[in-house]
Amino acid sequence: MNSNELDRMLGKAAVPERSDAYWGSFPGRVVRRIETAGAPPARTRLWQLGFASAFAACCGLVIGFVLWHRNARELDDYAAMRDGRTLRALEDQYPGRLQSIIRDASGLHTQLSGDAAPARSDPVWLEIEDGGDRRVVVTYSGQLVRCRGKDVMVLSDAGGQVILVGDGFLWSRQATSGLGNALRIQAEDISYSRAHQARSPQL
Amino acid sequence: MGRTMPAVGPATEGIHPVLPPIQQRMVTDDERILIARSKAGDLEAFAELVRTHQRMIYSLAYRMSGSAAAAEDLAQETFILAHTKLAAFRGDSKCSSWLYRIAINLCLRWRKSEQRRGLADGEWALEQAPSDSGENTGARVQEALARLSPKLRAAVILTAYDGLTHAEAASVLGCAEKTLSGRLFSARRQLAEILRVSNA
């Protein structure tokens, strides 16, 4: 069967005729159904409401889980930095090259030197809160960290005292200068505090 | 009455459309006014819109469902649904295209629900429209159409019977023009084969 024959045959399939009375009353029947229907059936609306509620609850659960997971991971990161686990793991991975580990809102970062340094000073833990930003840094005495857009040197003495020194900037537990009101710093020599904790039970 | 109108305008792929092509059924100013009044809640104006398009939608529903009773229900449902969606109709497409889209979607959904009940294809052959030639050809064509998948059938009906261009039919069916052309090619090949076998 060629295309023309098919077209001719398709043209022969007619739709049953309806009377003029039928077509005359058809719009009226539609309008009557619209008038009686009014608002959509309550069952539909309940179903939609139920579906929307279930969907919102699922979204809430997912968002809650993500936030909880993120918070738990953040806390775990801070704890691992504080007790030296992160430091040991990264030192093993990059022997002599690790300069600092930084945990901020965007995650965990490391700063590495190009060459391995033969001797390392004591590790220092720093927590810097500047307004709403919180940053935890584990670095070594003698390294530079950024604070309020300035490079600040981290120094620790034999007694475990930590000092941050920069251009017009000084911070220690006893004295501070050049810091704004919103800047809050905590610092600790991790190796000194660990050694001190290890000795304490024997005293 | 609408079904016996002479074929006018350019035929699609050589098929003679029974209704005038959609280009000749442009939205008139009167129709715009009726739509605006209907949006404002004037049911009399909406009834006038129904009157304008009722045969077109009924024919589409009949060819898609194969049942006069189902076609009446589907045509009514189409206009009721159109009334609920009237506020969203911005008039950037033709009123007829918009109604076609609603009707086709309803028919496809109806086909699915009927197939789940195992009814649709069985009813098709029982209701045979009188053919123009007075022979059984019309019924055989409708049976052949019934054997096509709903999407292939919709493509044939919109282009061959309602005279839509490929672009218009693709827009109504929500597919690409290439997809529509592919469906038409496949549908025509299947139809030719079914009719050849039934003729033998």
- Give per-residue pLDDT as tens, B91-148: 777 888 899 999 999 998 887 777 766 555 545 444 554 444 445 777 888 888 888 8
Report yes or no: A26 at the B interface, CB cutoff 8 Å: yes
Higher pLDDT, A80 or B169: B169
State the ipTM, two decimals. Answer: 0.74
> CB of A121 within 8 A of CB of A102?
no
Say yes or no for a CB contact (<8 Å) between B13 and A3.
Answer: yes
DSSP letter (8 states) at residue B164: -
Instruction: Give residue limits of the domains in chain B.
Output: 18-199
Give residue B16's pLDDT.
40
pLDDT in tens, A12-54: 888 888 899 999 999 999 999 998 876 444 455 677 888 899 9
Interface test with B, best of A2, A22, A30 (most B CBs within 10 A): A30
Query: Binning pLDDT at 50, 70 and 90, where does residue A125 land?
Result: confident
Its CATH architecture, for the domain B18-199, is Orthogonal Bundle (1.10)
Higher pLDDT, A79 or B181: B181
Order of strands across the sheet that contains A144-147? A144-147, A150-156, A162-166, A169-171, A176-177
Give residue B182's pLDDT.
93
Average pLDDT of the segment spanning A196-202: 51
Report yes or no: B142 at the A interface, CB cutoff 8 Å: yes
* Chain B residues close to A28, C-beta within 8 Å: 47
* B-chain residue closest to A20, CA distance: B1
Give residue A185's pLDDT.
85
Say yes or no for a CB contact (<8 Å) between B129 and A14.
Answer: yes
> CB of A118 within 8 A of CB of A96?
yes
Low-confidence residues of chain B: pLDDT under 70: 1-28, 116-135, 200
pLDDT over threshold 50, residue A195: yes
Q: What average pLDDT does chain A have?
A: 80
Q: Which of B15, B50, B76 sits opposite A7 (nearest CB)?
A: B15
One-letter identity of residue B11:
A
Give residue B6's pLDDT.
37
Local structure of B121: helix, strand or coil? helix
pLDDT in tens, A141-183: 888 888 777 788 888 887 778 888 888 878 888 777 766 667 7
One-letter identity of residue B138:
G
Give residue B103's pLDDT.
94
**CA dihedral sign of residues B130, B133, B139, B143:** negative
Give residue A44's pLDDT.
55
Give residue B55's pLDDT.
93
Provide the chain B residues 116-135 that lie in CB contact (below 8 A) with chain A. Answer: 127, 129-133, 135
Residue (of A103, A110, A112, A107) closest to A82 by Cα position: A103
Residue (of A146, A147, A169, A172) closest to A159 by Cα position: A172
Report yes or no: A27 at the B interface, CB cutoff 8 Å: yes
**For residue B139, what are its two tokens?**
């019924």
